[in-house]
Amino acid sequence: MTARAVLQQADIARALTRISHEILESNRGSSDLVILGVPTRGVLLAERIGRILDDIEPGAGTVGSLDVTMYRDDLARNPTRAPAPTEIPAGGIDGKTVVLVDDVLYSGRTIRAALDALSDLGRPRAVRLAVLVDRGHRELPIRADFVGKNLPTSADERINVRLVELDGSEEVTIQ
């Protein structure tokens, strides 16, 4: 099956800019806002969102990363990558609005793991979810608050997100 491009570099940039504005609007500004990316590509997207937020409201881009590897419920079935570092901004997450950022929302299991990991780190005031692509097929009652693109897919299709920092090219394809 050949891959079909559904988002190019300019589309991704527009989606992240829109998501950033929506985050600020829903939070009524940037106070007490923490952006945490889920490795691997979620961290890169979170960093981009942080830069956009900082351009809109200087000082708004408080960004970190949240590794969920050891919180996953499929460790026995799927080979995992080595855990990445969790980097929480200096102010922590207690009483803050935390926006989790990931590249693709599928079953919801990665985000469930992220919520478990967050609970070990503190007690945020609220947790929101931003994803570049929501492809459906949820197994858990999890919904993204901010979505770059909804891409209804069949269960046998695959969404590939490529980001220039990691992959040398920038696109989202469906295969």
Q: What pLDDT shows up at residue 76? A: 67
- What is the DSSP pairing of strand 97-105 with strand 33-37? parallel
Tell me how crowded residue 40 is: count the other CB atoms within 10 A of its CB. 16
Chain position carrying tokens 């989790």: 100
For residues 2 and 74, the answer to whether their CB atoms sit within 8 Å is: no
159-162, strands of its sheet edge to edge: 4-8, 171-174, 159-162
Q: What is the pTM (predicted TM-score) of this model? A: 0.94
Domain ranges of the chain: 4-73+83-174
Q: What pLDDT shows up at residue 79? A: 64
- Give ∠ CA 163-77-113 in degrees, rounded to 5: 60
Positions in the chain short of pLDDT 70: 1, 75-76, 79-81
Q: What pLDDT shows up at residue 12? A: 98
Q: What CA–CA distances, in Å, run from 48 to 15, 17, 64, 123? A: 11, 9, 12, 25
Q: What pLDDT shows up at residue 80? A: 63
| DSSP for 53-75, written as a single string | HHHHSTT---EEE---GGG-S-T
Q: What pLDDT shows up at residue 77? A: 72
- CATH for the 4-73+83-174 domain, from 3.40.50.2020, 1.10.3720.10, 3.90.25.10, 3.40.50.2300: 3.40.50.2020
| Selection from 164, 161, 103, 166 nearest residue 114 by Cα | 103
Kindly state the tokens that stand for 5: 């491009």
Q: How far apart are the C-alpha atoms of 89 and 120, rounded to whole Å?
A: 15
Q: Which residues, 6+ apart, have CB-to-CB distance to 20 below 8 Å?
A: 49, 52, 53, 56
Instruction: Determine the 3-state secondary structure of 120 from DSSP.
Output: helix
